[in-house]
Amino acid sequence: MSRLVKKSPSVCTDLPLDNADIYNKLSLLRQLLASCFGPTGRLKQVHNNIGGHVVTTSTSSVLFPAISSSQPLVNLIKTSIHNHVSRFSDCGLFAAGLCLSLIEHAQQSGLAANVSIRINKHLLGLCVSYLQREDCGCKVKLDFCSSQSLITLARSVISSKPACVLTEQEMLHISRLAVQAFLLTLPCNNPGIVMLGKTVSAYVEGHPVLNSAVFPGLLLDVTGDFCLNKEDNLNPSPLSVVVFSTSLAGDLCELGEGLIEVPAGVDSDLQILEQLLELGKQVVTDEVKLFACQKVIHPVLQQYLRSEGVIVIERLGAYLMEPLIQLTGAQPVATLHTSLPAKAYGEVSEISVRQFGSKTLLHLRPSGESAICTMVLCHRNETMLSELKVVCQKTEHVLRLTIRDPAALLGGGCTETHLAAYIRHKSNEVSEPAAVLGCSHSEYHLCMEGFCCSLESVAKALEHSGGNSLIDLTHAHHWTLPADMTKGDIEDSLGFCGCGLVGSSPSRKWTYINTKYTAFSPASLSVDPAVRPRVLDSFTAKLNALQVAVETANLALDVRYIIQDVN
Amino acid sequence: MLGCSVLNLRRHVGLQKLSALAAITHSSLGPNKKYKFIHDDSSGESALVCSCVRVLENLELTCAVGQLVYETLQAHQTVYNSGSGCLLFLAGAWSRAALECLHGGISVSHIISAMSEGIDVCAGVCRKSSISIEGLGEVQPENSTATVPHAVPQASNPPHGTGRCGDQVLNASGQRKIKLSRHFCESRCKNASAASQGKLINIAHVAEGLRHGCVDAMNLVLEVNQMQSQSNQDMNCDVFDITKVVTCVLPGLPEAHACVLAGCVVLLSAEQLSVVHHLQHQLLKVALIRGDLSHAFRHLGFSRPTGMQRVSDHSALESSGREEEWMAHVLALLLNLEVNLILVSGLASEKVIQRCCAHHILVVEKVKASALSAFAAATRGVPVTYATQLSKHCVGTGAKVAMWRDLSGTGRKSSAAVTISTSGNCSLVTVILTSCVQSKLQVLEDQFWACAYRLHHALKDRVVLPGAGLTEMLCVHRLQKQATRLCTERTADSEKSSSPYRSAVLHLMADGLIDYISTVMVNSGRVSKIRATAVVNQHVQDCNGHSDGAATFSKLFSEGDHEGGSFSDGAPDLNLKIYDNLSVKQEAWRKALDLVSLVLQTDAEIITGVESQENLMLL
């Protein structure tokens, strides 16, 4: 007999943003994420309620998967921003801060949601077209002739994550390595369609950061009972390689579900082992020097191959298969039931062993040109190493984005304040947008102020020690004044602006962020090649983050009802 | 559901937790460690612990900071096996320093950068005051009390001794050797003969300095070292291979029975003992098995087929029959290869052991992986996964078994301890640790390994640091000097707005180190905390005032001894010097600071999977 359980009715929330509980949760999320922002951002300890492993981080790509809420609206915003992060790696916290701040300002302004949405859209269009202009005041062209600006870009990403706990020198070292690895993945001599290579990472815990290094080729972790005969790696000719993607453990795992009937007296294990040894014999007669398998290799086969002088590597894992195949040109063998075709073999030019602390790594060098390189990252402890891992992946992605669009935006909050000043100026210049958008002039002005304040609040979020944020009234760059300084001694204590392009001078005038200033057209900087920005943000990532933030905010403002099935 | 607790910034809860955790282990610092009972009210179980790592192991740490501390300590312990107490103490002391800075309104980023400047200063001091172990303590036996205390202070004289300290010690001993060549012609000759290998190292002297109160444990370590260098003539005695040492604990025997034996010691049952008697005084052929020795065992990564069905005309051959078949096959193989001894890293089934016994084959299970590798190297055997894999070239030769001690009548399952060794140069050494008090065995084992690792790292680093708080004292002096310099510089140059903060942070870091030295002094007994702090401060003061820091430090050195500063032995012995490990100390300090800076920069915990809890903000 089945039991009937009464279904409880769905819960409907009308105008969710007017709900104090939901509003407070959004505001908590904003505080939580804003406090992580920038090089002096605060860290968060993420763990479960039963005392599991603790992750210390301030990176959005680690934080977002950990955050889940009982409120669908919070999850909607989180998912939207997380999606941006998984596509572009960078500017997740910027997008989240801007989006939540836009929602807050729109709610405080008391404007009708549809009006706010329309004006926000218009302002976004204004920003995007300005950022894409050649003469945009907060954009710099990346010069590929020198690695300097690439290193600056990499350094900005790495320095924005304090949980890596790096000194100045270490930061520079890692930035250089990131750029070096990026350059190694660019193929040089291939005409036609260019395929980018891959940076593989290996991690060593408990070693100084400065021991980190980048190598062309592939380094495989073979720590454990690995022995390489001295004469093997001295062989200069190309060494033949075979790569298996199937398990060579000698089991019947490939058969899947279903029943197998085996006559008594037949030892299936032994028969598979015979098959494996058959394979081993062929490999040995074909003079293969390196035998690699994604999964487990039967110990008897291993013993046989080693006794014949073949280097055996098992349990490579799916992650290393693709780069290994690219590097060697081998075709992965997915079965052990046929003989190996000659074209399945790949080759490497040299095999050597490298020692990093307790880890033994086998270094394979390509015989031809190959855009595979390996980055060995070392750090003192696990917590900091795992953050460094994430940051280096992020840096690699950001550097790759520069190929698509060789430009960068000024960092340190300068782009945000500059954009805000530009919008204020532009809105004063022409009065027609209000008419076109179907709203009154005061409505337009109120919403525009909210938009600009939201941008500025993101720049302000870079400061976490109670200092004040200022903008200068010529270039509209972002400046920070330490907490214990007053505006009186500004000139002494303000060295350079956030991005490092503008220096303080007696003629310069500043105002606090969030105070009204008469709109002005932010002046572009005269091009002085000697002065280079110290902080750069990824152009592609930030542009997309800006769009995602405004569109997500608009979507959240547009939500009228939330209907939840609580069964 | 997700909760989030915001830590109040001024009263940083994380730092308070860190300092509270560190406070638990204050008494396990220094050579005179106090035992602690950890009692579990719910289960009624209790543990006797003595070291900082063991304390934390036995506590259930559920808070995030506790987890972080535990992970850091474990990571340190697996590599260094000592210095964890120092790590945790300084993490606590420096987190208090950071708290005080926050109270004083210094921003987090200023604290972090100043503290990392401080640790660089300390690292610099360590580098400069390190003493090469080559030639160290060579002239010790005949030295008068007047000359020895000068050796170290001269070397580590902070104002002048920059970068030359290690050399100075070497030179000093070198000069003395020439001066006193009449008495030391023998040792000089020895030196000359060994000149090609570099200077001789007086291991006994270095070990004595590194024993930190564990006299018996260090004596065992020295014995191990001697045995290793004897069995391995080509190996220098100044390398200590920690991977070739295993410990074996035997409860019920008095502590004085602790000893060092060549080879590997295993406990066997009475039944197997008869095989041992049969095999004694023979050179044996040995098979090495990685994994279990049983019919059903399959290598790691092998997945058993789920839907396999056996079809048969007659149901005679059941699984027991298959096992029998396997057994017969393996036995025939073993007899054919004339194997007398099987070392198994995993378990061996009861049946296998019995059947092998009947054929005078000794099966030893649960052999440590490092021991297995050592036997493989010494007997030229090849470890295999399955017994059926064995072939002529896999079987090693030259193993020996011998009765060591009959344990029958002590009420234990195993009735005898047997040593397995090889005729060739197998440098594997077993240390037997004994105690009548069973719960003390762990402590003894920990002490042995701590001493072993200290010697290992000293020989690896080739340098040691002056111990007994001297290095810390030098660091305090340098930190305070740097802080004062920053203060005075500020008046001359107002641009550096952060220098007053840096000066304050460096002072507080130095206070943390003073706290460390005085706590060690207190733990050593006979001094109160106030007196200890006063003594340390006085010496640092003196050091600032006098240009001749050497005399002050030698005074401190002797006074520290006199008051039991570092010795449990009692009688002040001015000839005895105390050393610390350079790499261990530097790494422990660095990790302590890493902990503080991670916790300091954290302002919130994100807890996932929260049901509904008070004082948490729910998202």
Residues B397 and B480 in one domain: no
- Cβ pair A249:B389 closer than 8 A: no
Average pLDDT, chain A: 87
A70 in reach of chain B (CB within 8 A): yes
Look at residue B158 and tell me if it is in a domain.
no
For B117, the closest chain A residue by CA position comes to A167
Interface test with A, best of B7, B17, B603, B615 (most A CBs within 10 A): B603
Contacts of B14 in chain A (CB under 8 A): 45
Q: For residue B3, list chain A residues with Cβ-Cβ distance below 8 A.
A: 49
Same domain, B414 and B488: no
Q: Which residues of A touch B313 (CB under 8 A)?
A: 264
Residue A472 in contact with residue A45, Cβ under 8 Å?
A: no
* Whole-angstrom Cα Rg for chain B: 29
Are B592 and B584 in contact, with CB atoms under 8 Å apart?
no
Q: What does R_g of chain A's alpha carbons equal in angstroms?
A: 29
Q: Which residues 432-451 of chain A have a CB within 8 Å of chain B?
A: none
B22 inside domain: yes
Q: Which residues does chain B have within 8 Å of residue A74's beta carbon, measured at their own beta carbons?
A: 619
The domain covering A11-138+410-564 belongs, at the CATH homologous superfamily level, to: GroEL-like equatorial domain (1.10.560.10)
3-state secondary structure B165-233: HHHHHHHHHHHHHHHCHHHHHHHHHHHHHCHHHCCCCCHHHHHHHHCCCCHHHHHHHHHHHHHHHHHCC
- Chains A & B: contacts with CB separation below 8 Å: 199
Do the domain assignments include residue B301?
no
User: Angle at the Cα of B616 (from B613 to B618), degrees rounded to 5?
Assistant: 90
Q: Does B385 touch chain A (CB under 8 A)?
A: yes
Nearest CA in chain B to A29: B619
- Residue B557 domain-assigned (yes or no): yes
Which residues of chain A are within 8 Å of residue B304 when distances are taken between CB atoms?
251
Residues of B with Cβ-Cβ distance to A28 under 8 angstroms: 4, 617, 619
Q: Please work out, in degrees rounded to the nearest 5, the angle formed at the alpha carbon of residue A273 by the alpha carbons of A271 and A277.
A: 120
For residue B156, the model assigns a pLDDT of: 35
Q: Which residues of B touch A46 (CB under 8 A)?
A: 605-606, 608
Q: Are B79 and A43 a contacting pair at CB < 8 A?
A: no
Structure tokens of A494? Answer: 């303000």
Is the distance from CB of A533 to CB of A477 less than 8 angstroms? Answer: no
Q: Are residues B409 and B492 in the same domain?
A: no
Give SS3 for B416.
strand
Boundary of a domain, candidates B431, B462, B493: B462
Please indicate whether, in this complex, the C-beta atoms of A49 and B312 are within 8 angstroms of each other: no
B586 touches chain A (CB under 8 A): no
Cβ distance of B619 and A67 shorter than 8 Å: yes
Query: 3-state SS string over B538-583?
Result: HHHHHHHHCCCHHHHHHHHHHHHHHCCCCCCCCCCCCCCCCEEEHH
Residue that is last in its domain, among B462, B480, B510: B462
Residues of A in contact with B603 (CB under 8 A): 35, 42-44
Facing A264 at nearest CB: one of B63, B109, B312: B312
Beta strands at A346-356 and B396-406: parallel, antiparallel or unpaired: unpaired
**Set of chain B residues whose Cβ sits within 8 Å of the Cβ of A225:** 373, 383
Angle at B409 between CA B408 and CA B415, to 5 degrees: 20
Distance CA B63, CA B55 (A): 16
Phi, psi of A81 (to 5 degrees): -70, -40
Residue B516 and residue B561 in one domain:
yes
Residue B172 has a CB neighbour count (10 Å cut-off) of: 18
Average pLDDT over residues A357-371: 85
Distance CA B19, CA B37 (A): 21
The answer as to whether B193 is a domain residue is: no
> Structure tokens of A243?
């790569």
What are the residues facing A11 on neighbouring strands? A564
Residue of B nearest to A254 (CA): B305
CA-nearest of A12, A328, A396, A461 to A177 is A396
What is residue B273's predicted lDDT score, i.e. its pLDDT?
A: 86
Residue B411 is predicted with a pLDDT of 59
DSSP codes joined into one string, B460-524: HHSEEEETTTHHHHHHHHHHHHHHHHHHHHHHH-TT-TTHHHHHHHHHHHHHHHHHHHHHHHHHT
- Rounded CA-CA distance A399/A180 in Å is 11
- Terminal alpha carbon distance of chain A: 21
**Tell me, what's the pLDDT at A221?**
87
Best of A45, A67, A169, A270 to substitute, by most chain B Cβ atoms within 10 angstroms, is A45
Same domain, B414 and B556: no
Tokens of B402: 């011998």
The upper half-sphere exposure of residue B72, i.e. CA atoms within 13 Å in the direction of its Cβ, equals 33
pLDDT (0 to 100) of residue B129: 84
Of the candidates A255, A532, A202, the residue with the CA atom closest to the CA atom of residue A375: A202
Indicate yes or no: CB of B305 within 8 angstroms of CB of A268. yes
Q: How far is B142 from chain A (nearest CA, A)?
A: 42
Burial class (CB in 10 A: 0-12, 13-18, 19+), A567: exposed
Distance, in Å, from the CA atom of A373 to the CA atom of A214, rounded to the nearest integer, reads 7
Q: For A222-255, write each residue's pLDDT tens digit.
A: 876 555 554 455 556 788 999 999 888 887 766 6
Q: Are residues B257 and B371 in the same domain?
A: yes
Q: Is pLDDT larger for residue B417 or for residue A258?
A: B417
Chain B contact present for A76, CB below 8 A? no
- For A139-184, the pLDDT digits (tens) are 888 888 888 989 999 999 999 999 998 988 999 999 999 999 999 9
A26 in contact with B, Cβ within 8 Å: no
Taking the Cβ of residue A260 and every Cβ of chain B, the question of whether any pair is shorter than 8 Å is answered with yes
* Neighboring chain A residues of B619 at a CB cutoff of 8 Å: 25, 28-29, 32, 67, 69-71, 74
The verdict on A485 touching B (C-beta cutoff 8 Å) is: yes
**Residue B63: closest CA among chain A residues belongs to which residue?**
A51
Cβ separation B603–A66 shorter than 8 A: no
Testing the interface with A: which of B1, B2, B116, B597 to mutate, by most A Cβ within 10 A? Answer: B2
- Contact B310/A263, CB-based, under 8 Å? yes
CA distance A252 to A268: 9
Best of A49, A50, A57, A259 to disrupt the B interface (most B CBs within 10 Å) is A49
Is B604's CB within 8 Å of A42's CB?
yes
Least confident of A66-70, A421-425, A458-462: A66-70
By C-alpha distance, the chain A residue nearest B387 is A300
Domain count of chain B? Answer: 2
Q: Is B441 in the same domain as B486? A: no
3-state percent helix, strand, coil for chain A, nearest multiple of 5: 45, 20, 35
- A414: its two tokens: 């300068």
Q: Which of B301, B310, B608 lies at the smallest CB-CB distance from A48?
A: B608
Mean pLDDT, chain B cut into blocks of 10 residues (619 residues total): 48 85 82 80 83 83 85 86 89 92 84 88 87 68 36 35 36 35 36 44 78 83 82 64 85 84 85 86 89 85 71 59 84 90 90 88 88 86 87 86 77 75 78 85 88 88 82 86 76 55 87 87 76 77 54 42 36 58 89 91 84 67
Which residue, B436, B462, B488, sits at the end of a domain? B462
ipTM reported for the complex, 2 dp: 0.86
Q: Residue B392 is part of a domain; what is its CATH number? A: 3.50.7.10
Q: What is the mean pLDDT of residues A284-302?
A: 89
Q: Are B442 and B491 within one domain?
A: no
Sheet of strand B264-268: strand arrangement:
B264-268, B416-422, B396-406, B284-289, B341-344, B362-364
Give the amino acid at B594: D
Task: Tell whether B235 is covered by a domain.
Answer: no
**Residue B67 is nearest to which of A54, A67, A247, comparing CB atoms?**
A54
One domain, residues B16 and B68: yes
Collapsing DSSP states into helix, strand and coil, what is residue A129?
Answer: helix
Residue A155: alpha-carbon gap to chain centroid: 14
With beta carbons less than 8 A apart as the criterion, state whether B585 and B86 touch: yes
Each residue's pLDDT tens digit, A477-510: 998 887 766 666 666 667 788 888 888 777 788 8
| Greatest CA separation for chain B | 103
Return the number of other C-beta atoms located less than 10 Å from residue A164's C-beta.
26
Residue B354 in any domain: the answer is yes
Of the listed ranges A279-293, A400-414, B371-385, the one predicted with least confidence: B371-385
Q: Shortest Cα distance from A421 to chain B (angstroms)?
A: 29
pLDDT of B470-526, one tens digit each?
Answer: 888 888 888 888 888 877 765 544 445 667 788 888 889 998 988 888 888 888 776
| CA–CA gap between residue A142 and residue A404 (Å, rounded) | 11
Which of B68, B120, B319 is the best mutation test for A, with the most CBs of A within 10 A? B68
Which residues of chain A form CATH 1.10.560.10?
11-138+410-564
Task: Report which of A458, A423, A460 is spatially closest to residue A444, judged by C-alpha positions.
Answer: A423
Strand pairing class (A561-564; A468-472): unpaired
Interatomic CA distance for residues B242 and A103, integer angstroms:
62
Q: Which two tokens stand for residue B608?
A: 């996932």
Q: CB of B72 within 8 Å of any CB in chain A?
A: yes
> Are B505 and B454 in the same domain?
no
- Mutation test of the interface with chain A: which of B300, B597, B608, B611, choosing the one with the most A Cβ atoms within 10 A? B608
φ, ψ for residue B435, nearest 5 deg: -165, 145
Query: What is the CATH number that goes with domain A218-369?
Result: 3.50.7.10
A222-242 as b/e: b if 16+ CB within 10 A = beeeeeeeeebbeeeebbbbb
CA distance linking residue B388 with residue B297, whole number of Å: 12
| Chain A touched by B167 (CB under 8 Å) | no
What digits encode the pLDDT tens for the residues B288-327? 998 898 888 888 878 776 666 666 655 555 566 778 888 8
Q: Determine whether the interchain pair A268/B311 forms a contact, defined as Cβ–Cβ distance below 8 Å.
A: no
Calpha distance B561→B565 (Å, rounded): 5
Cβ neighbours of B597 in A, within 8 Å: 165
What is the DSSP pairing of strand B341-344 with strand B396-406?
A: unpaired
Taking the Cβ of residue A303 and every Cβ of chain B, the question of whether any pair is shorter than 8 Å is answered with: yes
- Residue B427 shares a structural domain with residue B487: no
Residue range(s) in chain A whose domain bears CATH number 3.50.7.10: 218-369
For A88-230, list the strands marked E by DSSP: 139-141, 198-205, 213-216, 218-221
Q: How far apart are CA A90 and CA A95, in angstroms?
A: 10
Query: How many distinct helices (H) and strands (E) make up chain B?
Result: 20, 18
A396 — pLDDT class (breaks 50, 70, 90): very high
- How many CA atoms lie within 13 Å of A220's alpha carbon, on the beta-carbon side? 28
Give the residues across from A313 on adjacent strands: A292
Please give the C-alpha separations between residue B267 and each of B283, B416, B526, in angstroms, as whole numbers: 20, 6, 44
Q: Domain range spanning residue B60? A: 2-125+472-608
Rounded CA separation B568/B526 (Å): 11
Claim to verify: residue B345 and residue B436 sit in the same structural domain: yes
Cα A346 to Cα A243: distance, rounded to the nearest angstrom: 8
